[in-house]
């Protein structure tokens, strides 16, 4: 154990199998140092088998995190993966300079990612003219040869947002042979097997909004950004994102509108499906009832009607 360090702690309370009891409703609280704890509400725990992450309560809207009508970056046509290069283990492959050698590609650090800005592979500060390069096999699958979004994989208390995303433009990469990122980053790239239905620029803007950040914080209580959680992060439906982010509305407000319209669409579709399912169940029951009457002795008219 270390002092003044943030830890992820999960306490699971189990009861031995015995007489059936009424299930307890779980609650979530924020534990404060030398202050009373603050009750947050009921965690968003799925009521069926699913891969969804258990989510913290929504203190403002009291809404579930995973709702019908929402989508993910995979639905948008993108894939997320953790940065490849671990600098402190392979320092012999890293150098700084102004131009890459034939066996090198630029390296992007987490600190290069600034919200909604084009990312540059500076070794130090943004005004530095030194670029970090990594020696790597030209055929390596770790090399990214397309436009991409880079997110910081770790954050700190002083940062107002947990999700910090920036864009890398492949056409502006020194050497034009692709790039790699270090392991404190997450990279979002176009999935070559899918069509991208939201532009990378729009997706980057969306990820940097307060509404998206607030939903991610319900999935992760630590300063680390999980690649798995990012893949599961509920985002507004692409059709609404494309509409409101082109309207000139401020990004945070646009994200709120896109979420609200997506959830409303999902509720309408769910309601329609429930009505259709109920109708089909009733029709099935009627058919079984008519069939049973047709074969029941003493129901001559029913038999004649059935045979007719």
In terms of DSSP bridges, do strands 180-181 and 104-108 run parallel, antiparallel, or are they unpaired? parallel
Please tell me which of 15-24, 86-95, 157-166 the model is most confident about, judged by mean pLDDT.
86-95
Determine whether 188 is exposed, middle or buried from the number of CB atoms within 10 Å of its CB (0-12, 13-18, 19+): buried
Query: Is 7's pLDDT higher than 70?
Result: no
State pTM to two decimals. 0.80
For the chain, the average pLDDT equals 85
3-state secondary structure of 167: strand
CA pair distance 78, 28, nearest whole angstrom: 33
DSSP conformation class of 52: P
CA pair distance 160, 294, nearest whole angstrom: 71
Helices 210-219 and 251-294 sit at what angle, rounded to 10 degrees? 60
Q: Which token pair is 221?
A: 């209580």
Lowest pLDDT segment from 92-96, 154-158, 194-198: 154-158
User: CA-CA distances (angstroms) from residue 266 to 158, 240, 241, 249?
Assistant: 36, 12, 15, 23
- Higher-pLDDT residue of 50 and 293 is 50
| Three-class SS of 139-197 | CCCCCECCCEEEEECECCCCCCCCCCEEEECHHHCCCCCCEEEECCEEEEEECCCCCCC
Query: Is 305's pLDDT higher than 60?
Result: no
CA pair distance 177, 157, nearest whole angstrom: 36
Q: What is the pLDDT of residue 126?
A: 65
CATH fold group of domain 73-263: Adenine-n6-DNA-methyltransferase TaqI; Chain A, domain 2 (3.90.220)
The per-residue pLDDT for range 285-297, each reduced to its tens digit, is: 777 766 666 655 5
Lowest pLDDT segment from 2-6, 117-121, 212-216, 232-236: 2-6
Query: Is 212's pLDDT higher than 90?
Result: yes
pLDDT category of residue 56 using cuts at 50, 70 and 90: confident
Q: What is the pLDDT of residue 307?
A: 43
Determine phi and psi for 63, rounding to 5 degrees. -105, 155
Give percent above pLDDT 90 in the chain.
Answer: 48
Average pLDDT (267-293) is: 72
């Amino acid at each position: 154990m270390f002092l003044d360090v943030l830890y992820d702690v999960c306490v699971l309370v189990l009861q031995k199998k015995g007489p059936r009891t009424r299930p307890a409703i779980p609650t979530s609280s924020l534990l404060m140092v030398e202050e009373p704890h603050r009750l947050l509400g009921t965690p968003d725990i799925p009521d069926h088998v699913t891969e969804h992450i258990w989510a913290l309560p929504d203190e403002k809207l009291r809404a579930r995190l995973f709702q019908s009508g929402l989508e993910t970056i995979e639905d948008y046509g993108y894939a997320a993966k953790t940065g490849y290069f671990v600098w402190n283990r392979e320092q012999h492959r890293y150098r700084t300079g102004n131009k890459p050698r034939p066996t090198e590609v630029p390296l992007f650090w987490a600190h290069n990612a600034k919200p909604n800005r084009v990312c540059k592979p500076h070794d130090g500060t943004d005004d530095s003219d030194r670029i970090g390069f990594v020696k790597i096999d030209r055929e390596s699958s770790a090399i990214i040869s397309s436009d991409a979004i880079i997110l910081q994989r770790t954050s700190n208390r002083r940062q107002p947002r947990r999700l910090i995303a920036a864009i890398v433009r492949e056409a502006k990469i020194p050497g034009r042979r692709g790039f790699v990122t270090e392991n404190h980053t997450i990279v979002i790239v176009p999935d070559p097997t899918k069509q991208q239905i939201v532009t990378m620029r729009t997706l980057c803007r969306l990820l940097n909004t307060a509404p998206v950040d607030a939903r991610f914080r319900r999935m992760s209580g630590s300063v680390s950004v999980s690649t798995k959680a990012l893949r599961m992060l509920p985002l507004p439906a692409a059709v609404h994102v494309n509409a409101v982010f082109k309207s000139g509305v401020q990004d945070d407000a646009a994200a709120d509108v896109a979420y609200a319209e997506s959830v409303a669409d999902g509720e309408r579709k769910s309601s329609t499906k429930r009505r259709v399912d109920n109708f089909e169940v009733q029709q099935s029951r009627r058919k079984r009832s008519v069939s049973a009457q047709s074969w029941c002795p003493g129901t001559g008219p029913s038999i004649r009607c059935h045979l007719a």
